[in-house]
Amino acid sequence: MPIITMYSTGTCPYCAQAENLLKHKGLTVNKIRIDQNEVEFDNMIAKTGKRTVPQIFIDDHYVGGFDNLTTLDRNGQLASLLNPSS
What pTM does this model have?
0.94
Is 3.40.30.10 the CATH classification of the domain at 4-82?
yes
Q: What are the residue ranges spanned by the domains of the chain?
A: 4-82
Pairing of strands 29-33, 4-8: parallel
> How far is the C-alpha of 49 from the C-alpha of 75, rounded, in Å?
25
Burial class from Cβ neighbours inside 10 Å (0-12, 13-18, 19+) for residue 43 reads middle
> How far is the C-alpha of 21 from the C-alpha of 34, rounded, in Å?
21
Q: Tens digits of per-residue pLDDT, 4-28?
A: 999 999 999 999 999 999 999 999 9
Q: Tens digits of per-residue pLDDT, 40-76?
A: 999 999 999 999 999 999 999 999 999 999 999 999 9
